[in-house]
Protein backbone atom coordinates (compact mmCIF):
# COMPACT_ATOMS: atom_id res chain seq x y z
CA UNK A 1 0.00 0.00 0.00
CA UNK A 2 2.98 2.30 0.57
CA UNK A 3 3.89 2.59 -3.11
CA UNK A 4 0.40 3.55 -4.36
CA UNK A 5 0.01 5.96 -1.46
CA UNK A 6 3.33 7.62 -2.21
CA UNK A 7 2.42 7.84 -5.90
CA UNK A 8 -0.95 9.45 -5.11
CA UNK A 9 0.66 11.92 -2.70
CA UNK A 10 3.30 12.84 -5.26
CA UNK A 11 0.67 13.26 -7.98
CA UNK A 12 -1.51 15.42 -5.74
CA UNK A 13 1.48 17.54 -4.79
CA UNK A 14 2.38 18.05 -8.45
CA UNK A 15 -1.20 18.99 -9.34
CA UNK A 16 -1.34 21.40 -6.42
CA UNK A 17 1.93 23.07 -7.47
CA UNK A 18 0.72 23.37 -11.08
CA UNK A 19 -2.55 24.96 -9.95
CA UNK A 20 -0.60 27.29 -7.65
CA UNK A 21 1.51 28.33 -10.65
CA UNK A 22 -1.61 28.80 -12.81
CA UNK A 23 -3.16 31.19 -10.27
CA UNK A 24 -0.24 33.61 -10.60
CA UNK A 25 0.63 33.05 -14.26
CA UNK A 26 -2.89 33.36 -15.68
CA UNK A 27 -3.91 35.82 -12.97
CA UNK A 28 -1.23 38.39 -13.74
CA UNK A 29 -1.99 38.31 -17.48
CA UNK A 30 -5.67 39.09 -16.97
CA UNK A 31 -4.98 41.47 -14.10
CA UNK A 32 -2.55 43.61 -16.10
CA UNK A 33 -4.92 43.67 -19.08
CA UNK A 34 -7.76 44.76 -16.78
CA UNK A 35 -5.61 47.42 -15.12
CA UNK A 36 -4.53 48.86 -18.49
CA UNK A 37 -8.14 49.69 -19.36
CA UNK A 38 -8.14 52.62 -16.93
CA UNK A 39 -4.47 53.04 -15.98
CA UNK A 40 -2.60 53.85 -19.20
CA UNK A 41 0.92 53.90 -17.79
CA UNK A 42 2.37 50.41 -18.35
CA UNK A 43 6.01 51.42 -17.86
CA UNK A 44 5.26 53.11 -14.54
CA UNK A 45 3.31 50.01 -13.52
CA UNK A 46 6.32 47.85 -14.42
CA UNK A 47 8.65 50.05 -12.34
CA UNK A 48 6.35 49.68 -9.33
CA UNK A 49 6.33 45.91 -9.84
CA UNK A 50 10.14 45.87 -9.89
CA UNK A 51 10.31 47.71 -6.57
CA UNK A 52 7.80 45.32 -4.98
CA UNK A 53 9.59 42.23 -6.32
CA UNK A 54 12.90 43.55 -4.97
CA UNK A 55 11.34 44.09 -1.52
CA UNK A 56 9.80 40.62 -1.46
CA UNK A 57 12.97 38.93 -2.72
CA UNK A 58 14.98 40.78 -0.05
CA UNK A 59 12.61 39.57 2.68
CA UNK A 60 12.67 36.03 1.27
CA UNK A 61 16.48 36.01 1.21
CA UNK A 62 16.53 37.19 4.81
CA UNK A 63 14.08 34.44 5.82
CA UNK A 64 16.14 31.80 3.98
CA UNK A 65 19.31 33.06 5.64
CA UNK A 66 17.74 32.83 9.10
CA UNK A 67 16.30 29.39 8.36
CA UNK A 68 19.49 27.83 6.94
CA UNK A 69 21.99 29.84 8.98
CA UNK A 70 24.08 30.65 5.90
CA UNK A 71 24.58 34.09 4.32
CA UNK A 72 23.08 34.59 0.85
CA UNK A 73 25.31 35.49 -2.06
CA UNK A 74 25.90 39.19 -2.74
CA UNK A 75 27.92 39.98 -5.84
CA UNK A 76 30.71 42.60 -5.77
CA UNK A 77 29.99 45.75 -7.78
CA UNK A 78 32.42 44.99 -10.61
CA UNK A 79 31.02 41.51 -11.21
CA UNK A 80 27.47 42.77 -10.68
CA UNK A 81 27.70 45.48 -13.35
CA UNK A 82 29.63 43.40 -15.89
CA UNK A 83 27.77 40.08 -15.57
CA UNK A 84 24.24 40.97 -14.47
CA UNK A 85 23.63 44.27 -16.32
CA UNK A 86 23.10 42.77 -19.85
CA UNK A 87 20.56 40.27 -18.50
CA UNK A 88 18.80 42.97 -16.48
CA UNK A 89 18.51 45.33 -19.45
CA UNK A 90 17.10 42.61 -21.72
CA UNK A 91 14.66 41.53 -19.02
CA UNK A 92 13.48 45.09 -18.39
CA UNK A 93 12.80 45.71 -22.09
CA UNK A 94 11.03 42.36 -22.48
CA UNK A 95 8.71 43.00 -19.53
CA UNK A 96 8.19 46.68 -20.34
CA UNK A 97 7.22 46.07 -23.96
CA UNK A 98 5.00 43.14 -23.00
CA UNK A 99 3.05 45.25 -20.51
CA UNK A 100 2.96 48.18 -22.93
CA UNK A 101 1.32 46.02 -25.61
CA UNK A 102 -1.72 45.45 -23.38
CA UNK A 103 -2.84 48.96 -24.34
CA UNK A 104 -3.35 47.79 -27.92
CA UNK A 105 -3.96 44.06 -28.25
CA UNK A 106 -6.16 41.31 -26.87
CA UNK A 107 -4.99 38.66 -24.43
CA UNK A 108 -5.36 35.93 -27.07
CA UNK A 109 -3.11 37.74 -29.58
CA UNK A 110 -0.64 38.56 -26.81
CA UNK A 111 -0.51 34.93 -25.62
CA UNK A 112 -0.05 33.53 -29.10
CA UNK A 113 2.59 36.05 -30.18
CA UNK A 114 4.52 35.74 -26.93
CA UNK A 115 4.68 31.97 -27.46
CA UNK A 116 6.88 32.65 -30.50
CA UNK A 117 9.68 33.55 -28.06
CA UNK A 118 10.89 29.95 -28.37
CA UNK A 119 12.05 30.75 -31.91
CA UNK A 120 14.34 33.51 -30.68
CA UNK A 121 15.47 31.43 -27.68
CA UNK A 122 16.46 28.66 -30.10
CA UNK A 123 18.34 31.14 -32.28
CA UNK A 124 20.33 32.70 -29.46
CA UNK A 125 20.91 29.32 -27.82
CA UNK A 126 22.58 28.15 -31.03
CA UNK A 127 24.60 31.39 -31.20
CA UNK A 128 25.79 30.96 -27.58
CA UNK A 129 26.24 27.21 -28.16
CA UNK A 130 23.78 26.29 -25.42
CA UNK A 131 21.75 24.17 -27.83
CA UNK A 132 23.05 21.40 -30.07
CA UNK A 133 21.97 21.84 -33.72
CA UNK A 134 19.71 19.10 -35.09
CA UNK A 135 17.45 18.90 -38.18
CA UNK A 136 14.26 18.66 -36.10
CA UNK A 137 14.71 22.29 -35.05
CA UNK A 138 13.80 23.31 -38.61
CA UNK A 139 10.44 21.58 -38.16
CA UNK A 140 9.95 23.34 -34.81
CA UNK A 141 10.58 26.72 -36.44
CA UNK A 142 8.23 25.98 -39.35
CA UNK A 143 5.41 24.81 -37.08
CA UNK A 144 5.58 27.81 -34.75
CA UNK A 145 5.99 30.34 -37.58
CA UNK A 146 3.13 28.92 -39.65
CA UNK A 147 0.95 28.68 -36.55
CA UNK A 148 1.57 32.35 -35.73
CA UNK A 149 0.75 33.34 -39.31
CA UNK A 150 -2.51 31.36 -39.25
CA UNK A 151 -3.46 32.87 -35.90
CA UNK A 152 -3.08 36.46 -37.11
CA UNK A 153 -4.62 35.76 -40.54
CA UNK A 154 -7.87 37.73 -40.98
CA UNK A 155 -8.03 38.41 -37.26
CA UNK A 156 -10.80 40.92 -36.54
CA UNK A 157 -9.00 42.19 -33.42
CA UNK A 158 -5.51 42.49 -34.89
CA UNK A 159 -3.50 45.60 -33.96
CA UNK A 160 -0.20 46.07 -35.79
CA UNK A 161 1.40 48.37 -33.21
CA UNK A 162 0.70 46.00 -30.32
CA UNK A 163 1.70 42.98 -32.39
CA UNK A 164 5.09 44.54 -33.22
CA UNK A 165 5.62 45.38 -29.54
CA UNK A 166 5.02 41.78 -28.43
CA UNK A 167 7.11 40.39 -31.30
CA UNK A 168 9.97 42.72 -30.33
CA UNK A 169 9.51 41.67 -26.69
CA UNK A 170 9.73 38.03 -27.78
CA UNK A 171 12.94 38.76 -29.68
CA UNK A 172 14.46 40.49 -26.67
CA UNK A 173 13.08 37.65 -24.53
CA UNK A 174 15.21 35.23 -26.55
CA UNK A 175 18.29 37.22 -25.54
CA UNK A 176 16.96 37.54 -21.99
CA UNK A 177 16.49 33.84 -21.28
CA UNK A 178 19.71 32.84 -23.01
CA UNK A 179 21.63 35.31 -20.84
CA UNK A 180 19.64 34.21 -17.78
CA UNK A 181 20.63 30.59 -18.37
CA UNK A 182 24.28 31.59 -18.71
CA UNK A 183 24.00 33.69 -15.56
CA UNK A 184 22.41 30.94 -13.47
CA UNK A 185 24.77 28.22 -14.72
CA UNK A 186 27.92 30.12 -13.71
CA UNK A 187 28.60 28.36 -10.44
CA UNK A 188 31.15 30.96 -9.34
CA UNK A 189 28.42 33.64 -9.26
CA UNK A 190 26.22 31.61 -6.94
CA UNK A 191 22.94 32.69 -8.56
CA UNK A 192 21.46 29.24 -9.11
CA UNK A 193 18.56 30.11 -6.82
CA UNK A 194 15.99 32.27 -8.70
CA UNK A 195 15.28 34.30 -5.55
CA UNK A 196 18.91 35.46 -5.54
CA UNK A 197 18.69 36.13 -9.27
CA UNK A 198 15.55 38.24 -8.85
CA UNK A 199 17.18 40.16 -5.99
CA UNK A 200 20.19 41.09 -8.12
CA UNK A 201 18.26 41.83 -11.33
CA UNK A 202 15.60 44.25 -10.06
CA UNK A 203 17.75 47.36 -9.31
CA UNK A 204 19.47 47.27 -12.71
CA UNK A 205 16.16 46.54 -14.42
CA UNK A 206 14.68 49.62 -12.76
CA UNK A 207 17.59 51.79 -13.90
CA UNK A 208 17.41 50.34 -17.41
CA UNK A 209 13.67 50.96 -17.83
CA UNK A 210 13.52 54.33 -16.08
CA UNK A 211 14.83 56.44 -19.04
CA UNK A 212 12.21 54.86 -21.35
CA UNK A 213 9.55 55.66 -18.75
CA UNK A 214 10.68 59.31 -18.49
CA UNK A 215 10.63 59.68 -22.26
CA UNK A 216 7.18 58.18 -22.81
CA UNK A 217 5.22 58.55 -19.58
CA UNK A 218 7.12 60.88 -17.25
CA UNK A 219 5.11 64.04 -17.92
CA UNK A 220 1.78 62.23 -18.18
CA UNK A 221 2.28 60.38 -14.89
CA UNK A 222 3.32 63.55 -13.06
CA UNK A 223 0.11 65.31 -14.13
CA UNK A 224 -2.41 62.47 -13.93
CA UNK A 225 -5.25 62.73 -11.45
CA UNK A 226 -4.82 59.05 -10.62
CA UNK A 227 -1.52 59.63 -8.79
CA UNK A 228 0.14 62.98 -8.19
CA UNK A 229 -2.81 65.30 -8.81
CA UNK A 230 -5.51 63.39 -7.00
CA UNK A 231 -8.46 65.29 -5.57
CA UNK A 232 -9.18 62.64 -2.95
CA UNK A 233 -6.83 60.45 -0.94
CA UNK A 234 -8.99 57.40 -1.62
CA UNK A 235 -8.20 57.60 -5.34
CA UNK A 236 -4.47 57.60 -4.66
CA UNK A 237 -4.75 54.68 -2.26
CA UNK A 238 -6.80 52.75 -4.82
CA UNK A 239 -4.16 53.30 -7.52
CA UNK A 240 -1.34 52.25 -5.21
CA UNK A 241 -3.30 49.18 -4.10
CA UNK A 242 -4.02 48.01 -7.64
CA UNK A 243 -0.38 48.49 -8.64
CA UNK A 244 0.82 46.64 -5.54
CA UNK A 245 -1.43 43.66 -6.24
CA UNK A 246 0.18 43.32 -9.67
CA UNK A 247 3.64 43.41 -8.11
CA UNK A 248 2.69 40.68 -5.63
CA UNK A 249 1.32 38.56 -8.48
CA UNK A 250 4.59 39.05 -10.39
CA UNK A 251 6.66 37.90 -7.43
CA UNK A 252 4.25 35.03 -6.79
CA UNK A 253 4.69 33.90 -10.39
CA UNK A 254 8.46 33.67 -10.03
CA UNK A 255 8.18 31.93 -6.67
CA UNK A 256 5.55 29.43 -7.90
CA UNK A 257 7.68 28.56 -10.94
CA UNK A 258 10.67 27.98 -8.69
CA UNK A 259 8.62 25.71 -6.41
CA UNK A 260 7.23 23.74 -9.36
CA UNK A 261 10.66 23.16 -10.90
CA UNK A 262 12.42 22.35 -7.62
CA UNK A 263 9.73 19.90 -6.44
CA UNK A 264 8.98 18.30 -9.82
CA UNK A 265 11.01 19.09 -12.95
CA UNK A 266 11.47 21.66 -15.70
CA UNK A 267 9.60 19.25 -18.01
CA UNK A 268 6.56 19.48 -15.75
CA UNK A 269 6.72 23.27 -15.95
CA UNK A 270 7.02 23.17 -19.74
CA UNK A 271 4.05 20.83 -20.15
CA UNK A 272 2.03 22.85 -17.65
CA UNK A 273 2.87 25.95 -19.66
CA UNK A 274 1.28 24.47 -22.79
CA UNK A 275 -1.99 23.75 -21.01
CA UNK A 276 -1.78 27.20 -19.41
CA UNK A 277 -1.78 28.80 -22.86
CA UNK A 278 -4.92 26.83 -23.76
CA UNK A 279 -6.62 27.88 -20.52
CA UNK A 280 -5.63 31.51 -21.10
CA UNK A 281 -7.18 31.58 -24.58
CA UNK A 282 -10.37 29.85 -23.45
CA UNK A 283 -10.76 32.31 -20.57
CA UNK A 284 -10.01 35.27 -22.85
CA UNK A 285 -12.70 34.18 -25.31
CA UNK A 286 -15.22 33.50 -22.53
CA UNK A 287 -14.69 36.51 -20.27
CA UNK A 288 -12.76 39.18 -22.22
CA UNK A 289 -14.70 39.07 -25.49
CA UNK A 290 -11.74 37.91 -27.61
CA UNK A 291 -12.86 36.60 -30.99
CA UNK A 292 -11.15 33.66 -32.69
CA UNK A 293 -12.03 31.95 -35.96
CA UNK A 294 -11.50 28.29 -36.83
CA UNK A 295 -8.31 29.22 -38.69
CA UNK A 296 -7.04 31.08 -35.61
CA UNK A 297 -7.66 28.06 -33.37
CA UNK A 298 -5.96 25.80 -35.93
CA UNK A 299 -2.96 28.13 -36.00
CA UNK A 300 -2.80 28.01 -32.23
CA UNK A 301 -2.82 24.19 -32.33
CA UNK A 302 -0.03 24.14 -34.95
CA UNK A 303 2.06 26.53 -32.82
CA UNK A 304 1.56 24.42 -29.69
CA UNK A 305 2.59 21.30 -31.61
CA UNK A 306 5.87 23.03 -32.49
CA UNK A 307 6.44 23.99 -28.85
CA UNK A 308 5.58 20.44 -27.75
CA UNK A 309 8.06 19.02 -30.26
CA UNK A 310 10.74 21.35 -28.90
CA UNK A 311 10.06 20.20 -25.33
CA UNK A 312 10.16 16.57 -26.42
CA UNK A 313 13.46 17.06 -28.23
CA UNK A 314 15.04 18.80 -25.25
CA UNK A 315 13.85 16.01 -22.96
CA UNK A 316 15.27 13.36 -25.27
CA UNK A 317 18.65 15.02 -25.83
CA UNK A 318 19.11 16.29 -22.26
CA UNK A 319 18.23 13.24 -20.20
CA UNK A 320 21.49 13.44 -18.32
CA UNK A 321 21.30 17.13 -17.48
CA UNK A 322 20.27 18.61 -14.13
CA UNK A 323 17.63 21.16 -13.32
CA UNK A 324 20.14 23.97 -13.82
CA UNK A 325 18.99 24.38 -17.41
CA UNK A 326 15.37 24.96 -16.51
CA UNK A 327 15.53 28.68 -17.35
CA UNK A 328 15.80 27.98 -21.07
CA UNK A 329 13.07 25.35 -21.10
CA UNK A 330 10.30 27.56 -19.74
CA UNK A 331 10.25 29.58 -22.95
CA UNK A 332 6.60 30.47 -23.45
CA UNK A 333 5.37 31.17 -19.95
CA UNK A 334 7.88 33.61 -18.46
CA UNK A 335 6.06 36.70 -19.70
CA UNK A 336 5.98 38.63 -16.47
CA UNK A 337 8.32 36.93 -14.10
CA UNK A 338 10.67 39.73 -13.02
Region 71-77: mean pLDDT is: 88
Burial class of residue 44 in the structure, from the number of CB atoms within 10 Å of its CB (0-12 exposed, 13-18 middle, 19+ buried): buried
Q: What is the pLDDT of residues 283-307, one digit of tens each?
A: 888 888 888 888 888 888 888 888 8
pLDDT at 247 over 90: yes
CA pair distance 258, 276, nearest whole angstrom: 16
Upper half-sphere CA count for residue 181 (Cβ side, 13 Å): 23
**Residue 328 — pLDDT band, cuts 50, 70, 90?**
very low
Phi first, then psi: give them for residue 225, nearest 5 degrees. Answer: -80, -5
Higher pLDDT, 86 or 12: 86
Query: Which segment, 112-126, 146-160, 236-250, is predicted with the most confidence on average?
Result: 236-250
Q: Using 50, 70 and 90 to split pLDDT, how confident is the model at 257?
A: confident
CA–CA gap between residue 257 and residue 24 (Å, rounded): 9
Q: What is the pLDDT of residues 220-232, one digit of tens each?
A: 888 877 777 777 7
For residues 242 and 111, what is the distance between their CA atoms, to the nearest angstrom?
A: 23
Give the gyration radius of the chain's Cα atoms. Answer: 20
Q: Residue 330 pLDDT > 60, yes or no?
A: no
Confidence category of residue 262, pLDDT binned at 50, 70, 90: low
pLDDT at 57: 93
Tell me the per-residue pLDDT of 143-182, one tens digit each, with 9 for 90 and over.
888 887 887 776 657 788 888 999 999 888 888 877 877 7
Could you tell me the end-to-end alpha-carbon distance of the chain, in angstroms, rounded to an integer? Answer: 43
Amino acid sequence: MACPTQFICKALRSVGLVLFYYVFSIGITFYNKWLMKDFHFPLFMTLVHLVIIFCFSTLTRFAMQCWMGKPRVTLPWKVYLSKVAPTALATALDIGLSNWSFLFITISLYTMTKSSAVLFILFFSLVFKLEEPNPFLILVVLLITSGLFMFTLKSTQFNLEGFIMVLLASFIGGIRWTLTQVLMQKAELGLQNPIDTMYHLQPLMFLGLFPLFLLNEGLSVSTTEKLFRVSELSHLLYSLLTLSVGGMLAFGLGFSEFLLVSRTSSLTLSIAGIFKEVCTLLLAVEFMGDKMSTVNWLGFAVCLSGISLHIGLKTYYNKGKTHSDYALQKHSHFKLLF
